[in-house]
Structure 1
Amino acid sequence: MQDILKEIVAHKHLELERLCAKKPSLREALLQSETGIIAEFKRKSPSKGWIKQDGRADIIPLSYQQNGATAISILTDEHYFGGADEFIRQARQSGVTLPILYKNFVIDEAQLYAAALCGASAVLLIAACLSKQECKRLMEKAHALGLEVLLEMHSEAELEYAELEPDVCGINNRNLGSFVTDVENSFRLAELLPREAVKVSESGISDPNTVKLLRSAGFRGFLIGENFMKTADPGVALNAFISKL
């Protein structure tokens, strides 16, 4: 029995190594990509209701990968966005090897463990949800678990969080209070971020020309969800979008 126990414990150490091992890098993928599209699997929105209630995580994320996405974002909040941690696991099992962003409202370390366990590469931390000290603590824990951090900011006041030096800095064009989107928010705040920051513009992007302008303003990533998910075939919609860049 003792020999079996030793074998089990040894295997657990291997499992833990895999859990904390470095995942596909979102930051590096964005730096190396010519398009920088982070295609989002988003079935529901608090403001618009169901976008694609029958959307399958074992089909759409892989189709995004096959049609040119640089990375994948998967909503895991269940109540407001119709998501689940299991969706990331399903995407990985379907063959997705790109970096996957665990997109949720992370306020506790337990969610970071959940992100690592289901196969995410990076987690979203939202400045509006966290004090600067809480954000720093969660970022350190995420890194200890082998996860990168996309730190989302929306206002000029929140830009001080960039001092924490996240792997990727996100500018959300959607006001999380009113849910109104304005892409001008990215242009306005971009020049106030550190020059060396890897910048991602999030929400409200539906025109390839907007991506071109954002890239010229210093952005390397562009998170797009509803624009693809509302179509009959999100992967095909992504391909058509990229072909216009």
Structure 2
Amino acid sequence: MIRLDRAGRTFKVRRNVVHAVRDLSFSVAAGEFVGCLGPNGAGKSTTIKMLCGILTPTSGTVRMAGLDPARRRTTVARRIGVVFGQRTTLWWDLPLLDSFELCRHLYKVDRGLFRSRLDELTETLDLGAFLRTPVRQLSLGQRMRGDLAAALLHAPDVLVLDEPTIGLDVVSKAGIRDFLRRVNTERGTTVLLTTHDLVDVERLCRRVVLIDHGRLAFDGSLEQLMATAPGQSSIEDVVTRLYTGGARPPGDVARQ
């Protein structure tokens, strides 16, 4: 394409199509705890947003809890819980408890079930001291615990987490990791976690999916991930080498 500017000079405009996600295929079984890794701009958040129905893929098939999230967004929303670490789903100027009440109405949760779930989550996440505090006055760790509770009040089948421990101190991270482990093992909730914190992955995930440039770079267990770079003792070193092309998963390790 050629255009003229106001001075009559010509210049060329080139347009490049960038595929945020391309040829990416994987599935997550009920009850799994899967970590989704990748460098900034790899396509992780785009993938999560397609799974949640926020974005619609230009081609291919997406299923969440057996449903097409782009066509059945409301139904899918009732079956999943979502936490974005850098964005809250809570109402900023309302007390935390009022946010939970609004979530009850949004998800049409029976009042009796809501009360029992809220009591359980309040005890497990230690929310009692600040239930009546406006969300804007909560610390980051308190707000994150509130977001997790809000995402679980309707007892979703799947919990999607995007950087849930970002910016938290060591104690807060440990508490949230312990809570997520219990949600997965005791309730059987399927969890999909995207994070740059590899300690989250080591402590929680039995399986790792690595996305790079919108494509699947690795899909397997932590042990298989470590096997892609013999001699490396740190998961951080292994993942860094995969990001930079220093290691390639053997054919019998990566599940394409």
TM-score (norm 1): 0.34
TM-score (norm 2): 0.33
**Greater RCO, 1 or 2 (C-alpha within 8 Å, sep 6+):** 2
Rg: which structure is higher?
A: 2
